[in-house]
């Protein structure tokens, strides 16, 4: 990768950090949100429990989702960091994400009221991605839901949506637990516990499993993609979920506040390299992952976003089955007016906000929501929304970049094939 291309990628990420001003939505996929949501406000930035850890290791800290978070470390650039995660392993601090426990005999029904996904039939310690919906069917946030037992669930939501999600949960809980609500009627109120200041580390890359295995007697081959367990790691009993936001095999590890620095220090050994927001953004876009605030918001439905699969089949005939069901089910039946697509763009990289046109036409048919030069592919890739009929594979489009039209072609996502570990019949590198 040339120096000019590397600089272009950093400018791309920097532009994301500058385009905050207001958050149209309470954010939007895991992790998760490369939009900062904090520029233009005088409120102090929050810090994860690893702030000093990052500074001591030469991190360039930037405002992101209301937190001061590492962008890069020392003289390791974005492209080098990206490649290290794809070929070896990287460790990301994602402790800014909101971790919550929901408990109670009607907890599954409560979460199924807020989301379009059936979770009551999840096996214990299995996870699913879902979305929180507003009454219009728009995505309040994307979330990962893990079932721990018949009446206990652990969920993770985006940091940039904290001020939207938590009041929403509380208001819905109050209604649910009232004498008129299901929890109140049955005498089975649901309790919410926010795991404030808990650490969350994402260990990602083809050597992540082999590295983590050196610290535990637990056989990580038992932990397939989408599964979790409490794993003994050097004397700590930690919640470890197999998955992540990069498309690589890896783990997300939840850690009590008093042990976060110690665990992070333990895991930051060769071949692991600390990685920041810059690499996280390019990795997630190559993997076709949405970033809330860019690719998802409260005006976007899961059908438009290409996430119809989060709407369980059992729920597609019940317009009163979950919040926002009427509009979401209408779109599933009749089709949406726009669709999220992936694109390969010729020429200069297309940024968020770039206009999409039909070739030779002045009719704007869509907008870019995320775009970067892909370090892995050596091409400019982008994600965006276009009107239905222009979303099919290999459709030729034009994107306006710096006042000039450039050719683009609709390309299936993910752009880079994921390497999730799905069982012992698959190769688990290094283990």
For 16-20, 98-102, 277-281, which range has the lowest pLDDT when averaged over its residues? 16-20
Collapsing DSSP to helix, strand or coil, 53 comes out as: helix
Say which residue the tokens 């929403």 belong to: 168
Could you say which DSSP state residue 35 is in?
-
Dist. CA 78–CA 76, nearest whole Å:
7
Q: Which helix (H) or strand (E) holds 400?
A: strand 396-401
Q: Which helix (H) or strand (E) holds 242?
A: strand 236-242
Say which residue the tokens 């892995």 belong to: 376
pLDDT at 301: 98
Q: Using pLDDT thresholds of 50, 70 and 90, give the confidence band for residue 430.
A: very low
| CA angle 127–129–135, rounded 5-degree value | 130
pLDDT at 42: 59
Tell me the average pLDDT of the chain. Answer: 90
Dist. CA 306–CA 29, nearest whole Å:
12
Per DSSP bridges, beta strands 89-93 and 272-274 are: parallel
Could you say which DSSP state residue 160 is in?
G
Please write the tens of the pLDDT for every residue from 109-152. Answer: 999 999 999 999 999 999 999 999 999 999 999 999 999 999 99
- Dig out the tokens for 330 from the structure: 């209408």
Collapsing DSSP to helix, strand or coil, 194 comes out as: strand
Dist. CA 216–CA 237, nearest whole Å:
10
Q: Using pLDDT thresholds of 50, 70 and 90, give the confidence band for residue 186.
A: confident
Sorted by where each starts, the structural domains of the chain and their CATH numbers stand as 50-95+198-285 (3.30.1360.120), 98-194 (3.30.70.1400), 337-416 (2.40.30.110)
Please write the tens of the pLDDT for every residue from 29-76. Answer: 333 333 333 333 457 999 999 999 999 999 999 999 999 999 999 999
Could you say which DSSP state residue 328 is in?
H
pLDDT at 171: 97
- Dig out the tokens for 327 from the structure: 């509009």
Dist. CA 293–CA 39, nearest whole Å:
14
Q: Using pLDDT thresholds of 50, 70 and 90, give the confidence band for residue 158.
A: very high
- Dig out the tokens for 83 from the structure: 């490649």
For 34-43, 172-181, 191-200, 412-421, which range has the lowest pLDDT when averaged over its residues? 34-43
Please write the tens of the pLDDT for every residue from 40-50. Answer: 345 799 999 99
Please state the pTM of the whole predicted model.
Answer: 0.89
370 touches 289 (CB < 8 A): no
Report the chain's terminal Cα–Cα distance, integer Å. 31
138 touches 298 (CB < 8 A): yes
Dist. CA 93–CA 168, nearest whole Å:
26
Please write the tens of the pLDDT for every residue from 246-286. Answer: 999 999 999 999 999 999 999 999 999 999 999 999 999 99
From the centroid of its chain, how far is CA 350?
Answer: 21
**pLDDT over 90 percentage in the chain:** 86
Q: b vs e for 215-253, b when ≥16 Cβ sit within 10 Å of the residue's Cβ?
A: beebebeebbbbbbeebebeebebbbbbbbbbbbbbbbb
Per DSSP bridges, beta strands 250-255 and 236-242 are: antiparallel
Q: Which helix (H) or strand (E) holds 273?
A: strand 272-274
pLDDT at 2: 37
Say which residue the tokens 């990052």 belong to: 54
Mean pLDDT of 329-343: 98
Dist. CA 331–CA 301, nearest whole Å:
9
Residue 43, marked binder:
no
- Dig out the tokens for 228 from the structure: 């979790």
Dist. CA 387–CA 18, nearest whole Å:
27
Helices (H), 307-403: 325-334
47 touches 61 (CB < 8 A): no
pLDDT at 25: 30
pLDDT at 182: 86
**pLDDT over 70 percentage in the chain:** 88
pLDDT at 177: 96
Dist. CA 74–CA 60, nearest whole Å:
7
Selected residue with higher pLDDT from 14 and 362: 362
Dist. CA 100–CA 80, nearest whole Å:
34
Could you say which DSSP state residue 218 is in?
S
pLDDT at 18: 37
3-state DSSP of 265-284:
HHHCCCCEEECCHHHHHHHH
């Amino acid at each position: 990768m040339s120096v000019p291309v590397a600089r272009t990628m950093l400018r791309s990420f920097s532009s994301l950090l500058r385009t905050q001003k207001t958050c149209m939505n309470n954010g939007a996929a895991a992790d998760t949100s490369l939009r900062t949501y904090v520029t233009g406000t005088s409120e102090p930035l929050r810090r994860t429990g690893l702030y000093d850890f990052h500074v001591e290791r030469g991190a360039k800290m930037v405002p992101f989702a209301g937190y001061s978070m590492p962008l890069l470390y020392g003289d390791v650039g974005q492209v080098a960091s990206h490649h290290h995660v794809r070929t070896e392993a990287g460790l990301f601090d994602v402790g800014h994400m909101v971790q919550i426990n929901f408990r109670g005999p009607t907890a599954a029904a409560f979460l199924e009221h807020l989301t379009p996904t059936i979770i009551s039939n999840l096996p214990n310690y299995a996870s699913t991605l879902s979305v929180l919906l507003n009454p219009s069917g728009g995505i309040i946030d994307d979330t990962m839901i893990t079932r721990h037992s018949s009446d206990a669930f652990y969920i993770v939501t985006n940091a940039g949506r904290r001020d939207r999600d938590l009041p929403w949960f509380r208001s819905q809980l109050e209604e649910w637990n009232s004498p008129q609500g299901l929890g109140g009627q049955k005498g089975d109120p649901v309790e919410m516990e926010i795991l404030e200041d808990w650490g969350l580390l994402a260990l990602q890359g083809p050597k992540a499993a082999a590295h983590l295995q050196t610290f535990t007697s637990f056989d990580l081959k038992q932990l397939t993609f989408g599964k979790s367990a409490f794993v003994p790691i050097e004397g700590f009993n930690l919640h470890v979920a197999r998955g992540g936001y990069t498309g690589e095999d890896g783990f997300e590890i939840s850690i009590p506040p008093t042990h976060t620095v110690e665990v992070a220090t333990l895991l930051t050994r060769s071949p692991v390299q600390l990685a920041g927001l810059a690499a996280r953004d390019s990795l997630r876009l190559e993997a076709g992952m949405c970033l809330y605030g860019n690719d998802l918001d409260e005006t976007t439905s899961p059908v438009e976003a290409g996430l119809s699969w989060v709407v369980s089949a059992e729920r597609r005939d019940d317009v009163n089955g979950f919040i926002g069901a009427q509009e979401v089910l209408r779109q599933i039946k009749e089709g949406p007016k726009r669709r999220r697509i992936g694109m390969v763009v010729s020429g200069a990289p297309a940024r968020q906000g770039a206009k999409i046109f039909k070739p030779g036409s002045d009719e704007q048919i869509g907008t870019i929501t995320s775009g970067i030069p892909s370090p892995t592919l050596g091409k400019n890739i982008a994600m965006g929304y276009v009107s239905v009929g222009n979303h099919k594979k290999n459709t030729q489009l034009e994107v306006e970049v710096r006042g000039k039209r450039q050719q683009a072609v609709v390309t299936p996502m993910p752009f880079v094939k994921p390497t999730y570990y799905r069982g012992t019949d698959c190769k688990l590198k290094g283990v």
